[in-house]
Amino acid sequence: MTKLLDRLVVKKTYALSGDLAAFASPLAVVPPREETSGMLLGTDDLGRPVFLNPSSLPNMHGIIVGTTGSGKSTLARHLILEARDLGVSSWVIDPHGERSYARLYSRVLLLGADRINVLDTPGWKSSEFSSELARYIERVYGISGARFVLREILLKCLNRGSLSPLENLSEVPEVKRIYDDLAQIHEDSAPSVEELAASSICFTFPQMSSREFRSLAALLLLMLLQGYRRTLGESHRFEHMVVLEEAHYLAPYLLHLYQQTRKWGYSVIAVTQLPRELDPRLYQLAGFVVALSGPESYVNDISLLFSLTRDERDHILYKPRGAALLVRQGDPRPRKLFLKLRREAFPEA
Ligand SMILES: Nc1ncnc2c1ncn2[C@@H]1O[C@H](COP(=O)(O)OP(=O)(O)OP(=O)(O)O)[C@@H](O)[C@H]1O
Ligand SMILES: [Mg+2]
Residue 341 CA, ligand 2 centroid: distance in Å: 15
Atom of ligand 1 nearest to the CA of 322: 1
**Closest residue by CA, ligand 1 atom 1:** 322
pLDDT the model gives residue 23? 40
Cβ proximity of 324 and 316 under 8 Å: yes
CA 248–ligand 2 middle distance (angstroms): 13
Measured CA to CA, the distance from residue 291 to residue 334 in angstroms comes to: 10
Q: Which domains does the chain have, with CATH numbers?
A: 2-112+199-226+237-345 (3.40.50.300), 117-190 (no CATH)
pTM metric for this prediction: 0.91
Tell me which ligand sits closest to the C-alpha of residue 71.
1
Q: Under a CB-based contact definition with an 8 Å cutoff, are residues 205 and 110 in contact?
A: yes
pLDDT of residue 24: 41
> What is the whole-number distance in angstroms between the Cα of residue 69 and the centre of ligand 1?
5
- For the stretch 264-282, pLDDT in tens is 999 999 999 999 999 999 9
CB of 322 sitting under 6 A from ligand 1: yes
What angle is formed at CA 113 by the lines to CA 110 and CA 114, rounded to 5 degrees? Answer: 65
Cα 135 to Cα 101: distance, rounded to the nearest angstrom = 31
What's the rounded Cα separation, in Å, for the pair 181 and 210? 9
Task: Give the integer Cα–Cα distance in Å for 292 and 294.
Answer: 7
Atom of ligand 1 nearest to the CA of 74: 18
**CB of 303 closer than 8 Å to CB of 283:** no
pLDDT, position 17: 41
Task: Quickly count: other Cβ atoms within 10 Å of residue 122's Cβ.
Answer: 15
- pLDDT, position 128: 97
**Which parts of the chain register pLDDT below 70?**
1-33, 261-262
pLDDT at 34: 73
Ligand 1 pocket, 348 CB below 6 A?
A: yes
Measured distance between the N- and C-terminal CA atoms of the chain, rounded to whole angstroms: 37
What's the CA angle centered on 193, arms 87 and 219, to 5 degrees? 100
Question: Which residues make Cβ contacts (< 8 Å) with residue 5, sequence separation at least 6?
Answer: none
What is the rounded distance in angstroms from the CA atom of residue 291 to the CA atom of residue 324?
6
